[in-house]
Amino acid sequence: MPLTFAFDVYGTLIDTAGITQSLERLVGDQAGLFSSRWREKQLEYSFRRGLMQDYVDFSICTREALEYTALQLNLPLAEDDKAALLDAYRHLPVFQDTADALNRLTQADHRLFAFSNGLPDDLESLLATAGIRDQFIDIVSVHEIKTFKPNPAVYQHFLQRSGATADLCWLISSNPFDLLGGQSVGLHTAWIQRSQANLFDPWGRAPDLTLDSLAELPESVNRYSCTT
């Protein structure tokens, strides 16, 4: 039976650490730290905006997080450099395991959607540049309802937009907060744990699948479906 897959984009399909190369010419050996702090603050701002019901689009969270990180690390950046970094964020690299996993799921007649905090136009550009846009039936953005993951309303919106039912829908993400949000509306969840240093929140709930790579996803979902 065809399943619906909701793929998180940033950090799951697309490597947000790919911005490090652009940062190296500006901040040298601080690039890795800058990249991780920027990403952490970007997500923090989206969480806070969601709780405060003070929505701005994700590109603004990204820009404000960049500003904060430069100040926090005392690494001032010229306005042109900030603009170049924000542009580079729209052309981040795809993880090496992404394209093949998506292709195998498509060949098995499953329904694939990109599902993200990002703006629709940014996501279109990002996925097209990565060469994977054609694998998806559509892109579903939180911008359509103006709040952020992990608000349960976001996952309900995905089900409505995709025409899927929760029992036949899988949320695929490297972000535990995202998976916990999906569980709140009954989605099946697969955690792509790209590093053993990444931990799942100890909330007494676990993802249905924990995988080291997207390469494991097609066979793992098939085995799961056969045993449940």
Q: CA 8, CA 10: separation in Å to the nearest integer?
A: 6
Short-list 54, 51, 57, 62, CA closest to 151: 51
Catalytic: which of 8, 57, 97, 178?
8
pLDDT score for 139? 98
pLDDT score for 225? 86
pLDDT score for 60? 97
pLDDT score for 82? 97
pLDDT digit string, tens, across residues 139-186: 999 999 999 999 999 999 999 999 999 999 999 999 999 999 999 999
Pick the CATH number of 4-14+93-227 from 3.40.50.620, 3.30.70.1290, 3.40.50.1000, 2.30.30.90: 3.40.50.1000
What DSSP designation does 163 have? T
pLDDT score for 105? 97
Short-list 179, 146, 205, 150, CA closest to 7: 179
- Is 15 in the active site? no
The arrangement of strands across the sheet holding 138-141 comes to 138-141, 111-116, 4-7, 169-173, 188-192, 209-211
The secondary element (H helix, E strand) that includes residue 223 is helix 217-227
pLDDT score for 228? 72
CATH architecture of 16-89: Orthogonal Bundle (1.10)
Residue where the block lists tokens 């993802």: 207
Q: CA 138, CA 136: separation in Å to the nearest integer?
A: 5
Q: Residue 214: count other Cβ atoms within 10 Å of its Cβ.
A: 25
From residue 213, alpha-carbon distances to 4, 19, 172, 200, 222 in Å are 19, 21, 11, 16, 16
Are 4-14+93-227 and 16-89 the same fold in CATH? no
pLDDT score for 227? 81
Segments of the chain scoring below 70 in pLDDT = none
User: Domain residues of the chain, as ranges?
Assistant: 4-14+93-227, 16-89
